[in-house]
Amino acid sequence: MQVDSPENIRNVALTGHNDTGKTTLASALLYTGGVVNRLNRIEDGNTYTDFDPEEIERGISIGLATCFVPWDQNKINLLDCPGYGIFFAETSSAMRAADAAVLCVSASAGVEVTTEKVWSFAKEIELPVLIHLNKMDQERAELQGDLDQLKEAFGREVVPIQLPIGKSHDFEGVVDLIHDKAVFFTKDGNGKGKPGEIPEDMKEEVANWRSTLIEAVAETEDALLEEFFEEGTLPQDDLVAGLRRAVRERKLFPVTIGSSAHGIGSSTLLDAISELLPSPVDRPDFPATNVGGDPVTVECSTDQPVSTLVFKTLSDPFTGKVSLLRVVSGTLPSDSQVWNVQKEKDEKVGHLMAMQGKQGTQISKLVTGDIGGVAKLKLASSGDTLCDKSRPVKLGWIEEAEPAIAFAIEPKTKGDEEKIGESLTRLIEEDPTLHAGRDPETGEFLLSGSGQLHVEIAIAKLKQRFHVEVILHPPKVPYRETIRKKAAGHGRHKKQTGGRGQFADCRIQIEPLTDGEEFDFVDEIFGGSIPQGFRPAVQKGIQEARRRGFLAGYKVVGFRVRLQDGQFHQVDSSEMAFKIAGSLAFKDAMAQAKATILEPIMKVDITTTEEFMGDIMGDLSQRRGRPQGMESKSSGSQVVSAVVPMAEMLDYAPALRAMTQGRSSFHMEVSHYDEVPRQIQEKIIAEAQKKKEDEH
């Protein structure tokens, strides 16, 4: 679908917790808009926006996907987002590219974890939100209870603009409070409702709710409030215009209702999107900086130089790479050249496509505000800005979240080492929240992600797409070693052969550092007991020895070395000899310095509900965790903060999922290092010794 005016575009991110029906809603809207000829449900494995084999097999959304619905002379671009918290980076990418969010809430489940995450991020980037109560046909669906919960969580600015006709299985239509009319739907129809009379037994309720809506709109502007006081109501045109402005300015958050699985409420939701949600030109200027990092204005106008944001990369072993982008200013024609600001190189844009899931229809151009795809960009990755070279700007992007969990991987087949690297590069192009690389301390090849499921899906994609199979292991914990007291050390290296010999002698003192510094070397030699040219070699020898560890093979940190004295030989001394002497002196000092092992301690935040608190606290105690506090959220959830040793958290994701039926989530990051309890140290040292013996 070719659009020439930004005023006729709506960019909407379909967001919400998992299992709120977002993907089925996207399919229902496509069906109602005439894009498809049947209502495709996610459980049938044939939706437009869940096309990845892993999504189809697991029945969940993993990555964001785009599609569009022609409606009321507008092009409505839908960005279908995953609901699982571990894939929230996909959701935030979509929200950055959109002009509004439709926040799907299950009418029977209410506000959930991801509901709150979406709301918080929308507030952070000042994105308008329309709340859609889905699954209104379910047994426990009850509008007043849901509204009470929404208002408690998000404020009194949450206002219904529709009421249900019928309850649970008898849900058959909606009353449009804005236009004071009823719309009836045929269950499992095409979602295009038919107007009818408001049921007699609802008229008083409708009148009360409509008065509440009019009053809420009037309170958003002084002029409207004055008009409301004078007339007791608002004219229809002023009501619609005032509500649209209030939604755009985040003063009100309208609530619509429906049942996407049965196509009920699809046309009334499309009407609300077209009528109330902002077009690209209604939104504030897109956040941007110049190449020097200073804020600049990028006006959403077709008269401006072109600037586009790449917000998602699709990677397919057969069709190749497709970049999804949002045109922020200007017009992007097919077969053009743009400047990749991040890569500082020209980029050739080939055929542009209007995307329906993974299928693209060729179009001649994308105007300001529109969303589309382009195949086979050589350099571009998610977050890159492609723009006119005469006006290079960096469009605002999201902060990349740190991985929450890492696994060590090794190929099942020895010849696959190179293939793993190449295949992971392709996956990371598509999903930048995946991280891969070799741990410089443990030597393991690590694959990191937002959660265990995230990593497992990446492994499944490696096998399915690139025919690479790997074995997954928990990663080694990056322990550290340190000292607790001062100690002196002497290192002497003497070797006599038939020719030139080797000789070096040095004396050092080591002492703990308390300021968090890893290592410090102080040369305290006065005179020539060790020539100036050999002293750096002593430091190198100590550095190499500390990286190899003393107790269990882990890097020694948090200490200072003072080089105090030594001897040399005019002929037999060399840099190599003093390196060896330095390492010997280090080992000698470590044996007397009360060496100990440190472990990484993680700061963990667990979001749960009251019913699971006892199990979670008991489990944390078994993991040597120390609770740090608890915070109650307006949604009724609790956030437990604790510090827990990393060694005890390697299997926490599946354990928490099992403990709470998947209804809790957690985030963790490294807090600090602390001493390992003595009995555990003994096990670590014994395991290291056994491994060393096995290797020999």
Beta bridge partners of 559: 512, 519
Whether 53 shows a pLDDT value over 70: the answer reads no
Residue 407 confidence (pLDDT): 86
DSSP letters for 520-547: EEEE---SSSS-GGGHHHHHHHHHHHHH
Q: Of residues 1 and 612, which shows the higher confidence score?
A: 612
The per-residue pLDDT for range 318-331, each reduced to its tens digit, is: 667 899 999 999 99
Average pLDDT over residues 459-487: 88
Residue 29 confidence (pLDDT): 95
* pLDDT-based confidence at residue 442 (cuts at 50, 70, 90): low
Average pLDDT over residues 76-99: 91
DSSP letters for 468-489: --EEEEPPPP--EEE-SS-EEE
Residue 525 to residue 517: CA distance in whole angstroms: 23
The alpha carbon dihedral of 291, 297, 300, 301 has a sign of: negative
Q: Of residues 284 and 696, which shows the higher confidence score?
A: 284
Average pLDDT over residues 181-193: 89
Both tokens assigned to 62: 């993993």
Residue 422 confidence (pLDDT): 81
Residue 46 confidence (pLDDT): 61
The per-residue pLDDT for range 118-150, each reduced to its tens digit, is: 999 999 999 999 999 999 998 878 899 999 999
Whether 348 shows a pLDDT value over 70: the answer reads yes
Continuous segment of H or E residues that includes residue 675: strand 665-675
Which among 512, 560, 7 has a CA at the least distance from the CA of 244?
A: 7
Please state whether 348 falls in left (phi above 0), alpha (psi between -120 and 50) or beta: beta
Continuous segment of H or E residues that includes residue 559: strand 559-567
Fold of 598-679: Alpha-Beta Plaits (3.30.70)
Strands, E assignment, 383-483: 385-387, 393-395, 405-411, 435-438, 445-449, 470-473, 480-482
Q: What percent of the chain has pLDDT over 90?
A: 62
Residue 48 confidence (pLDDT): 66
Domain ranges of the chain: 6-282, 288-395, 405-473, 481-594, 598-679
Average pLDDT over residues 249-254: 98
405-473: in CATH 1.20.140.10: no
Looking at domain 481-594, which of 3.40.50.300, 3.40.50.720, 3.40.30.10, 3.30.230.10 is its CATH number?
Answer: 3.30.230.10
Average pLDDT over residues 570-578: 93
* pLDDT-based confidence at residue 441 (cuts at 50, 70, 90): low
Residue 25 to residue 265: CA distance in whole angstroms: 10
Residue 636 confidence (pLDDT): 64
Residue 566 confidence (pLDDT): 95
* pLDDT-based confidence at residue 42 (cuts at 50, 70, 90): low
Residue 322 to residue 458: CA distance in whole angstroms: 19
Residue 130 confidence (pLDDT): 98
State the residue for tokens 């918080």.
120
The per-residue pLDDT for range 255-285, each reduced to its tens digit, is: 999 999 898 999 999 999 999 999 999 998 8
Domain 405-473 matches domain 598-679 at the CATH topology level: yes
DSSP letters for 364-384: SEE-TT-EEEEE--SS--TT-
Average pLDDT over residues 347-354: 94
Residue 663 confidence (pLDDT): 73
Residue 289 to residue 596: CA distance in whole angstroms: 49
Cα 303 → chain centroid: 34
Whether 173 shows a pLDDT value over 70: the answer reads yes
Whether 652 shows a pLDDT value over 70: the answer reads yes
The per-residue pLDDT for range 512-533, each reduced to its tens digit, is: 998 778 999 999 998 889 999 9
Residue 272 confidence (pLDDT): 98
Q: CA-based Rg of the chain, rounded to a whole angstrom?
A: 31
Both tokens assigned to 238: 């002023």
Residue 573 to residue 625: CA distance in whole angstroms: 53
Q: Is 393 helix (H, G, I), strand (E, B) or coil?
A: strand
Whether 691 shows a pLDDT value over 90: the answer reads no
Per-residue burial over 559-585, b if 16 or more Cβ lie within 10 Å, else e, is: bbbbbbbbebeeebbbeebbbbbbbbb
Q: What average pLDDT does the structure give for the chain?
A: 90
288-395: in CATH 2.70.98.60: no
Q: Under a CB-based contact definition with an 8 Å cutoff, are residues 379 and 342 in contact?
A: no
The per-residue pLDDT for range 215-231, each reduced to its tens digit, is: 999 999 999 999 999 99
* pLDDT-based confidence at residue 650 (cuts at 50, 70, 90): confident
* pLDDT-based confidence at residue 580 (cuts at 50, 70, 90): very high
Strand order in the sheet with 487-495: 487-495, 502-512, 559-567, 519-523
Top CATH class, 6-282: alpha beta
* pLDDT-based confidence at residue 576 (cuts at 50, 70, 90): very high
* pLDDT-based confidence at residue 244 (cuts at 50, 70, 90): very high
> Model's pTM, two decimal places?
0.75
Residues contacting 586, CB < 8 A, separation 6+: 489, 491, 508, 510, 541, 542, 545, 546, 561
Neighbours of 248 (CB within 10 A): 19
Q: Of residues 222 and 419, which shows the higher confidence score?
A: 222
Residues contacting 40, CB < 8 A, separation 6+: 27, 31, 46, 47, 48
Residue 659 to residue 650: CA distance in whole angstroms: 16
Residue 234 confidence (pLDDT): 95
